[in-house]
Amino acid sequence: MTPAEPGDAITPQATIGLPVTVSITRLVEPDRIPEVTRWVQSGVNLANRYPGFLGSGWVRSHATSREWHMLYRFADHTTLATWENSDDRLRWLDEGRDLVVESRVEKRTGIEGWFDVPRDAPSDSAPPRWKQAVSIWLGFFPVNLVFTLLVTTFVPFWPTFPTVPKVLLTTLVLTPVMTFWVLPFVTRLIRPWLLAPRR
């Protein structure tokens, strides 16, 4: 998605080793929407050539809204920095400098980066909580099932292991697996459904 411009206000929440989600709010003149759409897509195409690019999207609150909420993600802060400091991106930003009025940028890591929207976005822009819950369950069920089958097969004493240590070990293993690998994959897979307009 469309990266930050020099001078944008940035909330530095990116952490090395974690996926980084960049959310951008831009004001677009209604008569320039076709030009901006082409410009945005050209930026996505460029970013897609860079290692670590995980996807992007954008949404408006209604058909005549000037405010665009844009989102893109990289695998970690290092790959994001490579893209943000690239000559390709700088040339692309220069091409679109007259197409948008202003912008605001936030960077977030971890699970919340996929579900949260910018602070000034419409309240219905984020997926409803039941969809967020379904997304987490879609990832957690198969991971927990595989983990349970593995430990019961290869750790003979696991069924008789005390409950508290058993739950502690399970959550210690599965929480990072869910946060860093499974949930980002699931949300990418079902993003059209997550962001589908509410009826």
Q: What is the pLDDT of residue 14?
A: 38
**Whether 140 and 109 share a structural domain:** no
Number of structural domains found in the chain: 2
DSSP H or E run through 54 = strand 53-60
Q: What is the pLDDT of residue 23?
A: 83
Q: Is 64 exposed, middle or buried (0-12, 13-18, 19+ CB in 10 A)?
A: exposed
State pTM to two decimals: 0.50
Say how many Å lie between the first and final Cα of the chain, rounded.
26
Domain residues for the domain of 68 are: 20-119
Q: Among 63-77, 84-98, 109-123, whose mean pLDDT is lowest?
A: 109-123
Higher pLDDT, 17 or 50: 50
**Whether 141 and 96 share a structural domain:** no
Q: What is d(CA 28, CA 31) in angstroms, rounded to the nearest whole number?
A: 9
**Whether 37 and 56 share a structural domain:** yes
Residue 13 inside a domain? The answer is no
Of 96, 119, 142, the last residue of a domain is 119
Q: What is the pLDDT of residue 115?
A: 56
Q: Which two tokens stand for residue 58?
A: 């954008």
